[in-house]
């Protein structure tokens, strides 16, 4: 029964998430929740590749960054409406990921992980030297870019709602994939790729498809996020650090599950907010993230949800 209810639970949770800062009219809370939602989108989509297909994508942030660039360029230079621009960015990045995916997904294990770092670094370099996108200084949005959304104040709320929408879409997509034939094939690949191929799973196609699919919503979120910031530059857009943090979030919550990565992202982001403001920890934040990752993979490789599943096996049936 819970299984059938899952989409409704997600939709209701997202609705509460969206309404809460609106009702309380708490702008600071909205900013914090927006950042958490962005990370949930990143972690949830990264989980499709890491948790389902078993491929560690270290350069996952490239989707977010490139989506942001395409969107801001379309809005700033070609005066596209932001939603259309973000969608176009997502479609472009997804198509690019499909092409890249068919190539680099021939690699396995550490070699694939290295290749994904390479893709991120190469795109970052390319953008840094690409004059139409402002080179190293990036793109600054003109203030009147927010006019179509009713001015900057109103735009912030609109972007917030859109990003929460993308967050819900990420979770629903993750759930739908996990409970589909496509998902079954992916999970088989994650378990044992050679065996999956012998069983008939079209491995090259499935891997490329999920790599491409995992790019779409993060790229769109990147477009909206950088539109909200009003500025995008290569260092912020293609930060390897954020990429690694996204992996920590997936592992923390439980890779291969639907709500695990979202839980991990939310906890990580909110506790980081605390650590950053606490004087003693602010410089050690990455050290803590690294230690955390080490401890998770050593002691609880299944993450939070894996831990719950192990101690209460009955939850395996309904808590995905």
Partner 1 sequence: MTALLSVIGLGKKFGGLQAVQDLDLTLNEGEILGLIGPNGAGKSTVFNLINGVFPPDAGRALLEGREITGEPPYRVARYGLARAHQIVQPLLGMSVLDNCTVGACFGRENLPLHRAREVAREVAQGVGLGDRLDTLASTLTTAGKKRLELARALSARPRVLLLDEVLAGLNPTESERMVHTLRRIRESGIAILMIEHIMRAVMSLSDRIVVLNLGRKLAEGTPQEIANNPEVIAAYLGDPQRMPEAEGVE
Q: Which is nearer to partner 1, 237 or 304 (CB)?
A: 304
Q: Which is nearer to partner 1, 241 or 317 (CB)?
A: 317
Q: Which of 1, 23, 198, 280 binds partner 1 (CB under 8 A)?
A: 198
Residue 78: partners with Cβ closer than 8 Å, 6 or more residues away: none
Is the CB of residue 202 less than 8 Å from the CB of residue 60?
no
3-state helix, strand, coil in the chain (%, to 5): 80, 0, 20
Residue 39: partners with Cβ closer than 8 Å, 6 or more residues away: 245, 246, 249, 265, 266, 268, 269
Instruction: Determine if 297 is a binding residue for partner 1 (CB under 8 A).
Output: no
- Which span (87-95, 133-141, 153-161, 181-189) binds partner 1, by CB under 8 A? 181-189
CB of 195 to partner 1, least distance (A): 4
Instruction: Determine if 298 is a binding residue for partner 1 (CB under 8 A).
Output: no
Q: Which is nearer to partner 1, 59 or 183 (CB)?
A: 183
Q: Which is nearer to partner 1, 62 or 196 (CB)?
A: 196
x/- track of binding to partner 1 for residues 203-242 (CB under 8 A): x---------------------------------------
CB of 3 to partner 1, least distance (A): 13
CA-wise closest residue to 86 among 8, 163, 164 = 163
Instruction: Determine if 314 is a binding residue for partner 1 (CB under 8 A).
Output: no
Residue 40: partners with Cβ closer than 8 Å, 6 or more residues away: 167, 170, 171, 261, 262, 265, 266
Q: Which is nearer to partner 1, 167 or 201 (CB)?
A: 201
Instruction: Determine if 202 is a binding residue for partner 1 (CB under 8 A).
Output: yes
Instruction: Determine if 108 is a binding residue for partner 1 (CB under 8 A).
Output: no
Instruction: Determine if 197 is a binding residue for partner 1 (CB under 8 A).
Output: yes
Rounded CA separation 189/192 (Å): 5
Q: Which of 185, 218, 222, 303 binds partner 1 (CB under 8 A)?
A: 185
Q: What is the DSSP letter of 232?
A: E
Q: Which is nearer to partner 1, 149 or 201 (CB)?
A: 201
**Number of residues in contact with partner 1, rule: CB under 8 A?**
18
Q: Which of 187, 249, 258, 305 binds partner 1 (CB under 8 A)?
A: 187
Q: Which is nearer to partner 1, 284 or 318 (CB)?
A: 318
Residue 258: partners with Cβ closer than 8 Å, 6 or more residues away: 6, 171, 174, 175, 178, 320
CB of 202 to partner 1, least distance (A): 5
Q: Which residues of 257-286 are buried (b: 16+ CB within 10 A; e: fewer)?
A: bbbbbbbbbbebbeebeebeeeeeeeeebe
Instruction: Determine if 4 is a binding residue for partner 1 (CB under 8 A).
Output: no
Instruction: Determine if 77 is a binding residue for partner 1 (CB under 8 A).
Output: no
At what angle are helices 109-128 and 82-104 packed, to 10 degrees?
Answer: 140
- CA gyration radius, the chain: 19
Instruction: Determine if 78 is a binding residue for partner 1 (CB under 8 A).
Output: no
The CA-CA-CA angle for residues 241, 246, 252, to 5°, reads 125
Helices (H), 105-239: 109-128, 151-178, 181-191, 193-198, 203-229, 234-237
Instruction: Determine if 174 is a binding residue for partner 1 (CB under 8 A).
Output: no
Could you list the residues that contact partner 1 (CB under 8 A)? 180-181, 184-185, 187-188, 191-192, 194-203
């Amino acid at each position: 029964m819970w299984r059938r209810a899952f989409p409704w639970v997600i939709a209701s949770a997202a609705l509460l998430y969206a309404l809460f800062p609106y009702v309380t009219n708490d702008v600071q809370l909205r900013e914090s929740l927006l950042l958490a939602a962005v990370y949930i989108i990143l972690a949830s989509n990264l989980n499709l590749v890491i948790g389902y297909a078993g491929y560690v994508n270290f350069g996952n942030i490239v989707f977010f960054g490139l989506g942001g660039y395409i969107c801001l360029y379309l809005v700033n230079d070609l005066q596209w409406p932001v939603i259309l621009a973000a969608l176009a960015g997502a479609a472009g990045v997804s198509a690019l990921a499909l092409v890249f995916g068919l190539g680099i997904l021939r690699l396995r294990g550490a070699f694939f992980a290295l290749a994904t770092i390479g893709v991120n670094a190469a795109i970052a370099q390319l953008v840094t030297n690409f004059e139409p996108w402002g080179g190293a200084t990036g793109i600054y949005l003109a203030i009147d870019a927010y006019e179509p959304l009713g001015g900057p104040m109103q735009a912030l709320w609109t972007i917030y709602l859109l990003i929460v929408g993308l967050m819900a879409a990420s979770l629903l997509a993750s759930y739908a994939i996990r409970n589909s034939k496509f998902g079954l094939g992916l999970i088989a690949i994650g378990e044992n790729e050679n065996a999956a191929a012998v069983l008939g799973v079209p491995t090259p196609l499935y891997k490329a498809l999920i790599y491409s699919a995992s790019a779409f919503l993060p790229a769109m979120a990147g477009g909206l996020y950088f539109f909200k910031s009003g500025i995008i530059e290569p260092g912020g857009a293609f930060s390897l650090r954020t990429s690694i943090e996204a992996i920590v979030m997936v592992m923390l919550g439980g890779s291969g599950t639907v709500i695990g990565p979202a839980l991990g992202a939310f906890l990580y982001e909110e506790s980081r907010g605390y650590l950053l403001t606490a004087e003693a920890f602010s410089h050690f934040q990455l050290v803590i993230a690294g230690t955390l990752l080490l401890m998770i993979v050593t002691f609880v490789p299944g993450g939070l949800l894996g831990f719950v599943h192990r101690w209460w096996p009955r939850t395996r049936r309904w808590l995905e």
